[in-house]
Amino acid sequence: MEGPVAWAVSRWGTDPYARGAWTGLLLGGTTADRAKLAAPVDERVVLAGEGVHPTSPAMVHGAYESGRTAAAHLMSTARPGQSVAVVGAGIAGLAAARLLYEHGQRVRVVEARDRIGGRIRSVDLGGVTADLGAAWLQQYPRNPLARVARALRLSTVATDFAAPLPLSSDGPVSGVDEALTALRQHAAARTADADTTVAEVLAAHRARLDPARVRVLDYAVAAAITLESGLDFTTASARGTFGEPGVGEGDRWVPAGLSRLCDALADGLDVALNHPVTGVTSDPGGVTVHGAWGRLRTDRAVLAVPLAVLPTLALDPPLPDGHAFALARIGTGQAEKVLLRYRERFWPASPGGYLWWGEDRPTWNEWADLTDGLGVPVLALIAAGDAARVLHGHRPDADVVADAHAAVLRLSRAT
Ligand SMILES: Cc1cc2nc3c(=O)[nH]c(=O)nc-3n(C[C@H](O)[C@H](O)[C@H](O)COP(=O)(O)OP(=O)(O)OC[C@H]3O[C@@H](n4cnc5c(N)ncnc54)[C@H](O)[C@@H]3O)c2cc1C
């Protein structure tokens, strides 16, 4: 079978401006920690980003809403024409900047990379567009970005995450939903009085199962839990991992690419690309944002960098104890994508557009078949946690693509 004719490989884990894919709660962490981080640091500085949204974390629309909340905090005490620096041109920073700009503030966005969008990155695959970072507008019926997508006349395609096609290299898998339900019940019972780690919940639950059910459990965990979290399970909060929302609520993806939303938000804004910020100083007179490129003096600032990046900035004064304590209880998971475009579709079609793949080796467990939405055969393969590190790590793109293609061949033969 001919290999892919176009491809793209993500590097979120080793990217210094992302340092991972999305946030999750560490042992003892709660949504109150996210809410704490969303509260203003002082009267001049406020944080924004997916990691500080208490109810829709780790998702694009949570990041968007957090940016608007950060802007609202600053506007509640703003005088007309004040200046604001927004650090980071991901969707959170752009949402904040847009709202501030529309309310008459003088806004400058400073972005480290040579592009906007952050963990939203739509790439060209030989004439079609696909997303190497976020792709789905999750919880679509109540996703505020659905309105933005409609205003831009962007078509969307539904993915039924509740109906994946489960495939594995060692034979058919059935009973995955039941295995996940039993695991969730076990986790709820085990953490009723106190939080524990995901590793501990898994070990205790596994110990009660016979080998056939352990196999299904391992498959289910790799496909559904590891993929949602990406964290090291020995430090991940079981309450958080099994309790925070994720995929599976009417999610839809955008064949034109999610970057279109960022472009629309950025329209007319003053965005300085290639401006990595290394420090932020707040004093009674204002805020100074600085980097090797120089310094920017403003009245206030929104820091919309990923939480994993925040500790790399020299903050003066440092984060208050409450914020620092909350930050220490939120981790960042690993997840990586490979996009493969082929001349023809030779893998099985999943009715919901979504496949789970299990192997007795690190693999891309979650696959989205974008063929129907794009009109050409394209697969998005996603690996998370250790598998993401092993498969992507510091390996050359060509090796990653060769491995991913080999996995596609194995999956096709497994049916
Ligand atoms: C592979 C993958 C798949 C995903 N899939 C989905 C999905 O389908 N649906 C969904 O809802 N979410 C998904 N997510 C999560 C989603 O991408 C994020 O929640 C969201 O995009 C985060 O937005 P943000 O603005 O908070 O952060 P970011 O997008 O990371 O923006 C932060 C910005 O700050 C900039 N920055 C960093 N450091 C500095 C610095 N020192 N100086 C200046 N600028 C700096 C960065 O370059 C970036 O532009 C996925 C993420 C990944 C990685």
Q: Which atom of ligand 1 is nearest to the CA of 18?
A: 30
In a shared domain, residues 26 and 113: yes
Residues having CB closer than 6 A to ligand 1 are 10, 12, 17-18, 21-22, 49-50, 58-60, 63, 87-93, 110-113, 118-120, 133-136, 138, 276-277, 304-306, 309, 335, 337
In a shared domain, residues 327 and 273: yes
**Of 314, 332, 350, which closes a domain?**
332
Distance of CA 399 from the midpoint of ligand 1 (Å): 25
Distance of CA 173 from the midpoint of ligand 1 (Å): 34
- Please check whether residue 259 is in contact with residue 120, taking contact to mean a CB–CB distance below 8 angstroms: yes
Using most ligand atoms within 8 A of CB, pick from 265, 305, 312, 337 the residue to mutate for ligand 1: 305
Distance of CA 174 from the midpoint of ligand 1 (Å): 35
Residue 154, helix vs strand vs coil: coil
Q: How many angstroms separate the CA atoms of 298 and 385, rounded?
A: 39
Is omega for the bond preceding 320 within 30 degrees of 0, making it cis? no
Distance of CA 17 from the midpoint of ligand 1 (Å): 9
Distance of CA 90 from the midpoint of ligand 1 (Å): 6
Q: Which atom of ligand 1 is nearest to the CA of 48?
A: 26
Q: Whose CA is nearest to atom 20 of ligand 1?
A: 60
Distance of CA 80 from the midpoint of ligand 1 (Å): 30
Does any domain span residue 132? no
In a shared domain, residues 189 and 315: no
Residue 229, helix vs strand vs coil: helix
In a shared domain, residues 342 and 324: no
Q: Which atom of ligand 1 is nearest to the CA of 67?
A: 25
In a shared domain, residues 349 and 406: yes
pLDDT tens readout for residues 202-250 = 999 999 999 999 999 999 999 999 999 999 999 999 999 998 877 677 8
Residue 338, helix vs strand vs coil: strand
DSSP state letter for 118: T
Does any domain span residue 227? yes
Distance of CA 285 from the midpoint of ligand 1 (Å): 31
Q: Whose CA is nearest to atom 13 of ligand 1?
A: 134
Q: How many domains does the chain have?
A: 2
- The per-residue pLDDT for 206 is 97
Does any domain span residue 126? no
In a shared domain, residues 54 and 41: yes
The domain that holds 73 is classified in CATH as 3.50.50.60
The CB density around residue 199, as the number of other CB atoms within 10 Å, is 15
Among 286, 304, 282, residue whose Cα is nearest residue 83: 286
358 CB burial (10 A radius; 0-12, 13-18, 19+): buried
Q: How many angstroms separate the CA atoms of 299 and 78, rounded?
A: 9
Q: How many angstroms separate the CA atoms of 294 and 305, rounded?
A: 19
Does any domain span residue 289? yes
The domain that holds 192 is classified in CATH as 3.90.660.10
- The per-residue pLDDT for 162 is 87
Does any domain span residue 318? yes
Does any domain span residue 131? no
- Neighbouring-strand partners of residue 6: 341
In a shared domain, residues 400 and 380: yes
- The per-residue pLDDT for 247 is 66
- Please check whether residue 135 is in contact with residue 253, taking contact to mean a CB–CB distance below 8 angstroms: yes
Residue 233, helix vs strand vs coil: coil
Taking the model in full, what pTM does it have? Answer: 0.97
151 CB burial (10 A radius; 0-12, 13-18, 19+): exposed
In a shared domain, residues 28 and 68: yes
Distance of CA 118 from the midpoint of ligand 1 (Å): 4
Q: Which atom of ligand 1 is nearest to the CA of 93?
A: 25
Distance of CA 205 from the midpoint of ligand 1 (Å): 34
In a shared domain, residues 224 and 357: yes
Does any domain span residue 1? no
Q: Whose CA is nearest to atom 26 of ligand 1?
A: 49
pLDDT tens readout for residues 166-206 = 999 998 899 999 999 999 999 999 999 999 999 999 999 99
Weakly modelled stretches of the chain, pLDDT under 50 = none
Q: How many angstroms separate the CA atoms of 377 and 384, rounded?
A: 23
Q: Whose CA is nearest to atom 19 of ligand 1?
A: 59
> What length does the chain have?
415
In a shared domain, residues 214 and 328: no
Query: What's the domain range around 41?
Result: 22-120+259-332
Does any domain span residue 72? yes
- The per-residue pLDDT for 415 is 75
Distance of CA 239 from the midpoint of ligand 1 (Å): 24
In a shared domain, residues 230 and 345: yes
**Of 332, 351, 378, which closes a domain?**
332
In a shared domain, residues 30 and 116: yes
- The per-residue pLDDT for 81 is 86
The CB density around residue 207, as the number of other CB atoms within 10 Å, is 8
